[in-house]
Amino acid sequence: MYAPKETPSGSVILLSAMDRLITALPAQPPSLEDSVGSAIRELRLRHALTLAQVAEMANLSRGMLSKIETGQATAGLDTLSRVARALGVPMALLFNKYDATGASAQHIKRGQGMEVVRRGTKSGHTYHLLAYDQGPIKLFEPFLITMDDDSQRYPIFQHPGTEFLYILEGQIEYRCGQQTYLLEPGDSLTFQGTLPHGPERLVACPIKFLSVILYQQSPPA
């Protein structure tokens, strides 16, 4: 079935049911990549910097920076940190446009968390950052971590703050200081991030768990 539609000139065209359905659909919000890329481009132009200048300061190729700005490439936190330093802004400012319509909440759909690379991790280990702090001070970092490869030597992590782990799937031996803990679905583990910690052995793969790092805030002056 076709429905008539009058054009500004007075002529009439026919719209199919599919055309009307597409027209009626609400516009989709921009993706995380598009939002971050748009913010980088806007900040770069505001500072009257060229792609080549920012790319050189951030130790990136001009082509890669262009892809990040246009949302064609996903940048890890290390890359975004270098871009932010090159632009002279806090990294959180790059996320200001993402989900801007919901000022009180940030909704990350399944599978859409930013994939990041932590020092020492290799293929088979995936870290998805599930929230992007938009303030000037980093309050916390929640990760969804998936491991399905036991062929590498695991790094030891140390960082500020308190870390909380909650096991969703699989079994893993996890080391904190001199102690090793067998963690199974439903188990949790909380420790100070300054304590040397990391996976000791993957017992049953695939393994999936939440890791939330809470950073201590300085008391008000």
Q: What percent of the chain has pLDDT over 70?
A: 68
Give the pLDDT score at 97.
Answer: 66
User: In this predicted structure, which of 33-37, 91-95, 132-136, 178-182 has the lowest mean pLDDT?
Assistant: 132-136
Beta bridge partners of 166: 188, 210
Q: Into how many domains does the chain fold?
A: 2
Burial of 137 (0-12, 13-18, 19+ CB in 10 A): exposed
Residue 138: CATH number of its domain: 2.60.120.10
Give the pLDDT score at 34.
Answer: 84
Same domain, yes or no: 117 and 147? yes
| Residue 132: both structure tokens together | 């992007």
pLDDT band at 117 (very low <50, low <70, confident <90, very high): low
Residue 7 lies in a domain: no
The residues, ordered by sequence, that sit 6+ positions from 203 with a Cβ below 8 Å of its Cβ are 170, 171, 172, 173, 182
Same domain, yes or no: 203 and 97? no
pTM for this prediction: 0.57
Q: pLDDT for 74-89, tens place per residue?
A: 777 778 888 988 888 8
pLDDT band at 198 (very low <50, low <70, confident <90, very high): very high
Residue 14 lies in a domain: no
Instruction: Tell me whether strands 188-192 and 179-183 are parallel, antiparallel or unpaired.
Output: unpaired
Same domain, yes or no: 199 and 137? yes
Residue 47 vs residue 182, higher pLDDT: 182
Look at residues 52, 83, 102 and tell me which one is the last residue of a structural domain.
102
Q: At what angle do helices 77-87 and 62-69 cross, to 10 degrees?
A: 100
Residue 175 vs residue 25, higher pLDDT: 175
| Residue 85: both structure tokens together | 């330093």
Look at residues 102, 132, 160 and tell me which one is the last residue of a structural domain.
102
Residue 115 lies in a domain: yes
Residue 6 vs residue 214, higher pLDDT: 214
Domain of 125, in residue numbers:
108-221
Look at residues 67, 102, 137 and tell me which one is the last residue of a structural domain.
102
